[in-house]
Amino acid sequence: MYLRRLELKDAPLMLAWMHDKSVTEKLQANFASKTMEDAESFIKTSWDDKENLHLAISSDNDEYMGTVSLKHIEDGSAEFAITVRAEAMGKGFSWFGMESIIEKAFDELGLECVYWCVSRDNPRAVRFYDKHNFHEALDIPDKVLKRYEDMKNLKWYSVLKGDDFLSRETVAGCPVIHIKTIPTVDAGELSFFESTHDVPFDIKRMYYISKVPEGVRRGFHAHKELKQLLFCPYGRIQLILENKNGREEIELSDPSIGVVIDQLTWREMLWLQKDSVLCVAASDYYKVEDYIRDYDEFLELLKK
């Protein structure tokens, strides 16, 4: 998936979500009356708009999955907004769009702050932002609040440049480790780890998962005893972990970042980009009896 300029060919899919109640019911604007001309005019206007940046979130096949925006770009800040098609929900497109445009705001546009709000009556959106560790902002300027004065029950969020919103120490309590990595000038980098020195167990097995299409999920199991280090040397994979600490996710896309699963943990892996590779160093040989593939059985074991 990637961000690109909106194109006229996106208008039919854009109009489709505008007329899809499951997408628009919690949005502030009324999209139901929009026409194909409105969608095309929005797209054309976006091409040389200086105050707003509207980009398409595109699948690897160049299919429009939604729009992500920085609006009211002024005084070093901008308002973030996003809408994805129903078909794109739960497949990593929202997080990808958000993460990418916030990085763009700080790194390319030189902004200092990105803020946004969501209705507290929209639990899906509130859960999404809370899950990604965004915190409620209490210092939104009056000028911005004025734009929303007719709206009640809003929750505001903001991210400041330098906030390490992507870097994490744990996912559902499982340690995120920095794999030792040595760069060579103009010749890439080399990463390595040694059994018991860098990884907290003896490595008895390595395996890797490749040739997975975009949007496919694997996993759906826990292990009784096995400890593993998971990392993604190429591509982008979302790792969703659930255990006694709750359910959290992390995107693996940096070859020098790994996650150690060292406790009873349900896992799912979502391929955000086709041909991404998931590598795993495991503490034991393959033992079919170590797998818990039944979610209810996992929940029962978690209670014990």
- Residue 267 interacts with ligand T46 (CB under 6 A): yes or no: yes
In angstroms, give the least distance from the CB of 226 to ligand T46. Answer: 7
Size of the site for ligand T46 (CB under 6 A): 11
In angstroms, give the least distance from the CB of 299 to ligand T46. Answer: 18
- Residue 219 interacts with ligand T46 (CB under 6 A): yes or no: yes
Q: How far is CA 276 from CA 62, 70, 89, 260, 301, in A?
A: 18, 29, 20, 19, 32
Nearer to ligand T46, 218 or 274 (CB): 218
In angstroms, give the least distance from the CB of 191 to ligand T46. Answer: 19
Exposure letters 73-98 (e unless 16+ CB within 10 A, then b): beeebbbbbbbbbebbbebbbbbbbb
Torsions phi, psi of 115, nearest 5?
-130, 165
- Residue 228 interacts with ligand T46 (CB under 6 A): yes or no: yes
Task: Confirm if 79 and 70 have CB atoms less than 8 A apart.
Answer: yes
Nearer to ligand T46, 56 or 269 (CB): 269
| Active site residue ranges | 221
- Residue 273 interacts with ligand T46 (CB under 6 A): yes or no: no
Task: Confirm if 165 and 131 have CB atoms less than 8 A apart.
Answer: no
Site for ligand T46 in 170-209 (CB under 6 A): 205, 207, 209
Nearer to ligand T46, 122 or 170 (CB): 170
Nearer to ligand T46, 128 or 220 (CB): 220
Structure token pair of residue 61: 């096949």
Beta-sheet strand order (sheet of 170-171): 170-171, 174-178, 257-261, 228-234, 277-282, 205-209
- Residue 286 interacts with ligand T46 (CB under 6 A): yes or no: yes
Nearer to ligand T46, 71 or 218 (CB): 218
Cα(267)–Cα(92) distance, integer angstroms? 16
- Residue 46 interacts with ligand T46 (CB under 6 A): yes or no: no
Q: Look at the alpha carbons of 64, 125, 103, 178 in this order and tell me if their dihedral is positive or negative.
A: negative
Structure token pair of residue 147: 């734009």
In angstroms, give the least distance from the CB of 26 to ligand T46. Answer: 34
In angstroms, give the least distance from the CB of 3 to ligand T46. Answer: 28
- Residue 280 interacts with ligand T46 (CB under 6 A): yes or no: yes
Binding interface with ligand T46 (CB under 6 A): 205, 207, 209, 218-219, 228, 230, 267, 269, 280, 286
